[in-house]
């Protein structure tokens, strides 16, 4: 039974790392567009606001992903330290 859980958690960890990588790529793109729309030559308050909300969405996904990754890291470290 424990082997099955380890396998499922491995797949979940891979999915979380993929979400983190994807959120990082989108964050870079949205940060670029937020800066582009903040430029006085192309200033559009609606597009700038939308890009900032997209940036906040990307940061939320990154924070959740990193929380899971750090939780798993420290939990696995604790389990390794407990073994005789």
Task: List pLDDT tens digits, range 5-41.
Answer: 888 999 999 999 999 999 999 999 988 888 887 777 7
Task: List pLDDT tens digits, range 56-76.
Answer: 999 999 999 999 999 999 998
Tokens for 47?
Answer: 């597009």
Q: Which domain holds residue 63?
A: 23-82
What distance in Å separates the CA atoms of residue 63 and residue 55, rounded to the nearest whole number? 12
Residue 6 lies in a domain: no
Nearest to 17 by CA among 75, 64, 82: 64
| Cα 62 versus chain centre, distance | 2
Determine the straight-line distance between the first and last CA of the chain, rounded to whole angstroms. 22
pTM (two decimals)? 0.81
Torsion of CA 61, 64, 66, 68, to 10 degrees: -140
Residue 27 lies in a domain: yes
Residue 32 lies in a domain: yes
Residue 12 lies in a domain: no
Residue 38 lies in a domain: yes
Residue 2 lies in a domain: no
């Amino acid at each position: 039974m424990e082997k099955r859980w380890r396998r499922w958690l491995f797949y979940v960890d891979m999915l979380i790392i993929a979400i983190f990588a994807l959120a990082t790529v989108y964050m870079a793109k949205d940060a670029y567009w937020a800066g582009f729309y903040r430029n006085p030559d192309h200033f559009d308050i609606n597009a700038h606001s939308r890009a900032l909300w997209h940036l906040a969405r990307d940061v939320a996904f990154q924070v959740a992903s990193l929380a899971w990754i750090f939780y798993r890291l420290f939990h696995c470290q604790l389990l390794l330290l407990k073994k005789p």
